[in-house]
Amino acid sequence: MSKRVAIVQFPGTNCELDTKYAFEKLGFETEILWHKEEAIPENIDLVVIPGGFSYGDYLRSGAIARFSPIMKGVKEYAESGKNVLGICNGFQVLVEAHLLPGAMKRNDNLHFISKHHHLKVVNSDNKFLSAMSEDDIVNIHIAHAEGNFFADESTLHEMRENNQILLTYCDENGDELNPNGSVDSIAGICNKNRNVFGLMPHPERAVDSILGSTDGIKMLEGFLD
């Protein structure tokens, strides 16, 4: 039986179809959920909050989306131990909803960044990156204006102790190369229970060679197990 993915759509979301395509390419069944729904359907194996500009990024990216009715269902789903993935704006929404630690700030250069960038796997002891190994390097597209992840030192210490830092920005050789000012070059994290994941890069945009990379497949297929 195919695994089922629910993809949340807010006003301003623009990556739901890319996300749907990527997961269906891997053999998942998908369903797009409008933000006014209040519960996650039964028999869903993964909830994904995709990229875009929910509510036009007013106030802060993800700050209004966290109050949408569907987030009540997302929170209950996550608290039951099931898997949630936030990509780019989805990461920002999960941070605003306090399902992930830290905060998102404007990029250091104050500009929107859109390009391919390398990432290093810091920790693969989790469902999301279980098909990969520590120190693997992938080339994934980034597209954000507020991707500058921040956490205070006590939060960072706790995240390091709990192996919650999953991905960092690097160059093709694995050396640190930070595109946005994110603390410790962090590109992706998880919660303490390792069932809620967030990353700024877009793995769903790296599943066909014509797009410049198929490395996103390695990242998303961890959810197949």
Cβ-contact 216, 19 below 8 angstroms: no
The active-site residue out of 16, 96, 146, 204 is 204
Cβ-contact 29, 7 below 8 angstroms: no
Count of residues making up the chain:
225
Residue 41 to residue 143: CA distance in whole angstroms: 30
Listed by start position, the domains of the chain span: 4-224
Cβ-contact 206, 141 below 8 angstroms: yes
For every one of its 225 residues, what pLDDT tens digit does the chain have, with 9 covering 90 and above? 689 999 999 999 999 999 999 999 999 999 999 999 999 999 999 999 999 999 999 989 999 999 999 999 999 999 999 999 999 999 999 999 999 999 999 999 999 999 999 999 999 999 999 999 999 999 999 999 999 999 999 999 999 999 999 999 999 999 999 999 999 999 999 999 999 999 999 999 999 999 899 999 999 999 998
pLDDT per residue as tens digits for the range 58-116: 989 999 999 999 999 999 999 999 999 999 999 999 999 999 999 999 999 999 999 99
The active-site residue out of 35, 170, 202, 221 is 202
The active-site residue out of 16, 35, 88, 96 is 88
Q: Is 88 a catalytic residue?
A: yes
Q: Which fold has domain 4-224?
A: Rossmann fold (3.40.50)
198 three-state secondary structure = strand
Cβ-contact 203, 22 below 8 angstroms: yes
Residue 91 to residue 60: CA distance in whole angstroms: 13
Q: Is 202 a catalytic residue?
A: yes
